[in-house]
Amino acid sequence: MTEDIPALFAKRETDRFAMHSRHLNEQMVRVLKAIGYDVGFCRGTGQYLYDREGKRYLDLLSGFGVFALGRNHPAVRTALKSVLDGDLPNLVQMDVSTLAGVLAERLLALVPYLEKVFFVNSGSEAVETAIKFARAATGRPGIVYCEHAFHGLSYGALSLNGDEIFRGGFEPLLPDCMRIPFNDLSALEEALRLRNVAAFIVEPIQGKGVNIPSDDYLKGVEELCRRYGTLFVADEIQTGLGRTGRFLAVEHWNVQPDMVLIAKALSGGHVPIGAVLSRRQVFEKVFNRMDRAVVHGSTFAKNDLAMACGITTLDVLASEGLIENAARNGENLLRAFVAMKARYELLSDVRGKGLMIGIEFGAPRSFKLKASWNLLETANKGLFCQLITIPLFKEYQILSQVAGHASHTIKILPSLVVSTSDCEYIIRAFDAVIAASHRVPGAVWSLGKTLVDHAMLSRV
């Protein structure tokens, strides 16, 4: 008997938090309940999620960037069904995959200065691959990465993580990894000077904090890497596939990395996949003899369902003009938020490219607000953003996220299919919630007190 999975979901979904408390990560359940996000989502289409009551939420988180095409895109569904119905010779292993060949060909046509593709199952695996390939290709041990970088949580990737919160408790990490400030070319040159660094890995726009480099940074990175024989690796796992209004974010700065890592959106929101796009010379060093043909690999990489998702994702990005949509809507959102900045003293910075936007809050000037801000900051650094995201969720049904631990930045990362009216709604909702946060005393700051009490309680 084949179990009817949607029926199983419907039957058990009200037990989800109890099941997770019992069998999975109980702390996640506590977090969701504390901030009131335990609404029990039951359906997702496009840029929207629906809770048990059928209430619609606009998703500005998009599964950390997975749902570029929106949830349950019909083209991806059709492609997946066609693979399942096609009796294809999946994962033969002692053969080479036709669909992987097609997807590699199409990806490289979009990034024509690179010649080879290595498929994996996730972003972290792409990073692990880049570390191994860079060491093998250069014969050097060092990997340089940036403060606040996020490249995944497996051991190699974690060794390149720029925030202590993720590293603590898991050391020792990989040796020969060196952290430098983001957007600092002198620090990079200092790190590369000894010519023992295999790769410099960098997100063109950092996901944690939505940090955008200055205009000359990536060009300088490219030049320094070439000068010192270090491979320039762009982690486009979050920024790639149209997110910033270009196929790759590096296109904004007109640079050509030696390796480009993609994942997330390439899945079409369904089947995990990652890819390392690389120069031919790197591959030739790694796979340099027949007995090393399988020296790096992963059993499920290149599986037909993942390849079909990748192929369809590229089709939909082009046929629906989603990259242009991201550029246009992103520009309009950014403009509206910048205009808002003049009206709100708590709004300290607005930055972004395409549909990856950071809204940063900072210490106010006026006495009354300053007192409340300081109280909150002393109790728990970064808690202020929750005073914005929680009302956005409860009152406006907008799902958003804080851009990192103890961060004062809210990240807007919607599906690339968002409409003009969605964007107008985002602006109206943020405007109303930010306005409310400037009223002291008021509901927003009462929420702050409740959160502080919660935070204190959760520490005992």
Ligand X SMILES: Cc1ncc(COP(=O)(O)O)c(C=O)c1O
Which among 91, 44, 83 has a CA at the least distance from the CA of 66? 44
Q: How far is the CB of 134 from ligand X (least distance, A)?
A: 16
Q: How far is the CB of 121 from ligand X (least distance, A)?
A: 8
Contact 192, 178 (CB under 8 A): no
Distance separating alpha carbons of residues 229 and 224, to the nearest angstrom: 8
Please state, in angstroms and as integers, the Cα–Cα distance from residue 370 to each residue in 93, 127, 218, following that order.
63, 42, 37
Output 64 or 425, the one with its CB closest to ligand X: 64
Choosing from 50, 64, 166, 228, the residue that interacts with ligand X (CB under 6 A) is 64
Task: Kindly list the catalytic residues.
Answer: 150, 235, 264
Distance separating alpha carbons of residues 436 and 432, to the nearest angstrom: 6
* 168 torsion bin: left (phi>0), alpha (psi -120 to 50), beta (else): beta
Q: How far is the CB of 2 from ligand X (least distance, A)?
A: 30
Q: How far is the CB of 235 from ligand X (least distance, A)?
A: 5
Please state, in angstroms and as integers, the Cα–Cα distance from residue 410 to each residue in 300, 340, 406, following that order.
35, 15, 11
Q: Which long-range contacts (CB under 8 A, 24 or more apart) does 11-15 make?
A: 13/40, 13/42, 13/52, 14/40, 14/52
Output 264 or 438, the one with its CB closest to ligand X: 264
Distance separating alpha carbons of residues 122 and 303, to the nearest angstrom: 13
Cβ neighbours, 10 Å, residue 331: 15
Choosing from 203, 222, 304, 360, the residue that interacts with ligand X (CB under 6 A) is 203
Amino acid in position 431: D
Residues in binding contact with ligand X, number by CB under 6 A: 14
Q: Say which residue the tokens 């726009």 belong to.
A: 205
Output 266 or 308, the one with its CB closest to ligand X: 266
Q: How far is the CB of 1 from ligand X (least distance, A)?
A: 34
Name the residue number minimizing CB distance to ligand X: 123
Choosing from 177, 263, 282, 333, the residue that interacts with ligand X (CB under 6 A) is 263
Amino acid in position 393: F
Output 49 or 127, the one with its CB closest to ligand X: 127
Which among 356, 416, 418 has a CA at the least distance from the CA of 204? 356
Output 47 or 129, the one with its CB closest to ligand X: 129
Q: How far is the CB of 153 from ligand X (least distance, A)?
A: 7
Amino acid in position 324: E
> Using CB under 6 A as the criterion, what x/- string covers residues 213-252 for binding ligand X?
----------------------x-xx--------------
Q: How far is the CB of 207 from ligand X (least distance, A)?
A: 4
Residue 170 in 3-state DSSP? Answer: coil
SS3 content of the chain, % helix, strand, coil (to 5): 45, 15, 35
Output 116 or 151, the one with its CB closest to ligand X: 151
Output 150 or 396, the one with its CB closest to ligand X: 150
Output 276 or 333, the one with its CB closest to ligand X: 276
- Give the footprint of ligand X on residues 95-154 (CB under 6 A): 122-124, 127, 150-152
Q: How far is the CB of 12 from ligand X (least distance, A)?
A: 26
Length of the chain as a residue count = 460
Tell me if 207 contacts ligand X by CB under 6 A.
yes
Structure tokens at 87: 């009796």
> Using CB under 6 A as the criterion, what x/- string covers residues 391-430 for binding ligand X?
----------------------------------------
Phi, psi torsion values for 131, nearest 5 degrees: -60, -50
Contact 204, 236 (CB under 8 A): yes
Please state, in angstroms and as integers, the Cα–Cα distance from residue 292 to each residue in 156, 258, 286, 296, 420, following that order.
22, 22, 8, 8, 52
Binding site for ligand X (CB under 6 A): 64, 122-124, 127, 150-152, 203, 207, 235, 237-238, 263
